[in-house]
Structure 1
Amino acid sequence: MVLVTTMNHHLPRINKTRLWAGGILCFIFLMFASPKIPHSPKHHVFADMRNFLGVPNTLNVISNFPFLIVGILGLVICLQGGLFAISFHGEVWGWAFFYIGLTAAAFGSAYYHLKPDDNRIMWDRLPMMVAYASILSVFIVERVGQKFGVLCLFLLLSFALVIIAYERIFDDLRLCLMFQLIPLVAIPVLAFMFPPKYTHSKYWLWAAGVYLFAKFEAVADRKIYGINHYIISGHSLEHLCLVMVPVLLSMMLIFRSVRIPRLGELKDRP
């Protein structure tokens, strides 16, 4: 019994070290292997730039409104407690920052799309990076442990600020693009290494699939715009598709229940 307890105590520490080392090595490799990606005026030219009722780029602007609704509702429910199945304070921190990021993204992205340029785009990217950092840290809290997950939350949030500063100073988008890819790589790895604590874990996979489909819509912005006879562009559809990610994750929080209690963490429950 003592031997089993000791092994279970040290196994997460070994895995955490490997996670940090693997993540840092992958990051360094990608930075040296990839060329610099500077800003380009083409990044701010979208397929649909129509003006309705005096609002520039109208559909790209108003398609951010659902983020505001989901973000505010999710934040209120998260802080109120009761409806969402959240077991630890670390999860509350992570989900709260996630919904705050979504709410800020509604304003930041709308502000950027009113007049897309290099100066405004940081207000579009930073809130989404807060959401990316938060969702990854929440998953780490669930699968690895509360203390490690909370530490990752504040490290990733700090790293997001550093990335924005790096992008502005050195005119290089690589760090920003890699930061967006981190959850897509880290979450499947963590899911393979650590068992789920909650039921309804498939919602994570569905959310990842919707996210990837939304990014496809962004890449195919102009083609989608032409296919639907110039009704709505791929970028506007990306916004509407992306908002389904927090919707799915919120549904997961409502329906899930604890599957595997973690030893030594029951005392940390709120």
Structure 2
Amino acid sequence: MRLHTASHRWLGQHVDTAGGPPAAEGALLLAVVALCALAAWLPAIALPAAYHGFADQRVWLGLPHAADVLSNLPFAAMGVWGLAWLRRLPAGRIGVAQRGLAGLFFLGLIATTFCSAVYHLAPDHIGLCIDRLGMSLAFAGLLGLAAADRINARAGAALAVVVAVAAPTAALIDGWAGNMTPWAVLQGGGLVLLAALALRRPQPRALGFSIVGVIAFYAVAKVLELADAPVFALTQEFISGHSAKHVAAAWAAWPVVRALQRAAWAGPVPAARVTMR
């Protein structure tokens, strides 16, 4: 009986850590190396002079740039909501790596709320770096979770570590050297990696969240960001594109939260059957 149960445990651990083929790990490594090379070799791009001049400059109850500051609250709401569902998830429903990376993602969303609020209180270059430092945790958790789901836990953990180091580095390079190229490569390359991972099937014990859904919400957020002033004018100064961008970007966490809900509602994980021959 003990041998039979132990074999089930060993198989579960084996699938969780090495479920993806070595070719997929190699392709991921090659992609990361290529992105690092692009970030280092592409020409430097300076931040536009008018970057910090957002459309909505209104003050509310003494709070400067109130809409851009308060529109960060959905990030915190999604982060807390996701952590609550993660706590309700039965042990063993998803892999240990997926659980940890999802937690990192939601904590990153909460950090983004505060870091982005600091930036929008008085938008400047230093504040922008602080904003991006908060986003770095969320990026690391999300990309790592996607890799763990679609390749294996080892790939997910490794990618999360790389992004957790590369993203703050890119933000600081922009702040100190005025070169936003590494950050642009990080964001664009991250979306390409997500799209590539979306083409693969979820591995055993994966969370199974919709990567396509995450990309769709994020794409809407980027469009709104680029249309800051036009959206502000179109809505008769009700909301700017940048404020709406915060809300849309926060909703990019919904596919992950929804997957956690489905996993929690599935009930307890059945214990391994112990049979006597």
Q: TM-score range by the shorter chain?
A: 0.7 to 0.9
Query: Any conservation in 1 of the 2:19–2:152 contact (CA below 8 Å)?
Result: no
Q: Secondary structure at 1:129's aligned position in 2?
A: helix
* Aligned positions of 1:59-78 closer than 5 A: 59-78=67-86
One-letter amino acid of the structure 2 residue matched with residue 37 of structure 1:
I
Deviation of the 1:109 alpha carbon: 0.8
Specify whether residues 200 and 95 from structure 1 end up closer, same or farther in structure 2 by C-alpha distance, changes over 3 A only: closer
For 2:94, the equivalent position in structure 1 comes to 87
1:56-100 C-alpha deviation (Å, 9 max, x unpaired): 00111111112112212322432x242799511111221111011
* Aligned positions of 1:102-117 closer than 5 A: 102-117=109-124
* Aligned positions of 1:193-208 closer than 5 A: 194-197=200-203, 203-208=210-215
Runs of 4+ displaced beyond 6 Å: none
Is 1:236 paired with 2:243? yes
Q: Secondary structure at 2:126's aligned position in 1?
A: coil
Deviation of the 1:125 alpha carbon: 1.0
Q: Secondary structure at 2:33's aligned position in 1?
A: helix
For 1:16, the equivalent position in structure 2 comes to 25
One-letter amino acid of the structure 1 residue matched with residue 59 of structure 2:
N
Query: Any conservation in 1 of the 2:232–2:239 contact (CA below 8 Å)?
Result: yes
Query: Any conservation in 2 of the 1:129–1:180 contact (CA below 8 Å)?
Result: no
Specify whether residues 230 and 83 from structure 1 end up closer, same or farther in structure 2 by C-alpha distance, changes over 3 A only: farther
Q: TM-score, length-normalised on structure 2?
A: 0.81
Deviation of the 1:38 alpha carbon: 1.7
For 2:14, the equivalent position in structure 1 comes to none
Deviation of the 1:118 alpha carbon: 0.8
* Aligned positions of 1:69-218 closer than 5 A: 69-78=77-86, 80-82=87-89, 86-192=93-199, 194-197=200-203, 203-218=210-225
Counterpart-to-counterpart distance in 2, 1:30 and 1:175: 5
For 2:66, the equivalent position in structure 1 comes to 58
One-letter amino acid of the structure 1 residue matched with residue 51 of structure 2:
H
Query: Any conservation in 2 of the 1:141–1:150 contact (CA below 8 Å)?
Result: yes
Query: Any conservation in 2 of the 1:85–1:254 contact (CA below 8 Å)?
Result: no
RMSD, aligned CA:
2.5
Query: Any conservation in 2 of the 1:129–1:179 contact (CA below 8 Å)?
Result: no
Query: Any conservation in 2 of the 1:85–1:256 contact (CA below 8 Å)?
Result: no
The number of residue pairs the alignment matches comes to: 247
Counterpart-to-counterpart distance in 1, 2:109 and 2:161: 17
Highest Rg: 1 or 2?
2
Percentage identity across paired residues of the two chains = 24
For 1:263, the equivalent position in structure 2 comes to none
Which ranges in structure 1 are unaligned for 5 or more consecutive residues?
1-8, 258-265
Q: TM-score, length-normalised on structure 1?
A: 0.83
Query: Any conservation in 1 of the 2:75–2:112 contact (CA below 8 Å)?
Result: yes
For 1:45, the equivalent position in structure 2 comes to 53
One-letter amino acid of the structure 1 residue matched with residue 103 of structure 2:
A
Higher RCO, Cα 8 Å, sep 6+: 2
| Higher alpha-carbon deviation: 147-156 or 81-90 | 81-90
Counterpart-to-counterpart distance in 1, 2:207 and 2:22: 27
Q: Secondary structure at 1:51's aligned position in 2?
A: coil
Query: Any conservation in 2 of the 1:49–1:56 contact (CA below 8 Å)?
Result: yes
Q: Secondary structure at 2:94's aligned position in 1?
A: coil
Query: Any conservation in 2 of the 1:84–1:253 contact (CA below 8 Å)?
Result: no
Which ranges in structure 2 are unaligned for 5 or more consecutive residues?
1-17, 265-271, 273-277
Query: Any conservation in 2 of the 1:77–1:84 contact (CA below 8 Å)?
Result: no
1:227-250 C-alpha deviation (Å, 9 max, x unpaired): 111111100111111111112320
